Amino acid sequence: MSLEKFFDACVAEGLSTGPADSRALAPALSLGIHREHWARAAAAAKTAGLRWSALWARELDVGFEAFCCLAGGGPYVVLRTQLAPGEKLPSQAPIYPAADRPERHTHDLLGLYFGDQPDARRWTRHLAWSDKEFPLQRR
């Protein structure tokens, strides 16, 4: 897979991306995208032949930052985005089914919501915490 195919697919999806940074998460290529384009960037990655590899997130002073790692025979691509408290991140699970449980896990522990998540049942909490309690949140 060439990164050129991925960037061509992003253009075809009408996505504008921030500058690619090869130093932030070296050796991966880090690419900032707007939260509303999260699922569309996954669709572009799938079109370019990239595999979905991982999802992680962290709480910021205000809101969250989410990361998605994509792989495909070249350098890893890490998509990153930020969102404010209460904003939803479009689910990548309809495009990459492997994203389903990591999205549910991220919601259970951090309270990050994914719109259009095909299976919004709890994954990690198993009713151990209330619906409004997220153990990795600082608040």
pLDDT along the chain (139 residues), means of 10: 81 83 84 94 94 96 95 88 94 97 94 92 82 86
Tokens describing residue 59: 């709480």
CA pair distance 106, 23, nearest whole angstrom? 26
CA pair distance 97, 7, nearest whole angstrom? 22
| Res 2: pLDDT | 67
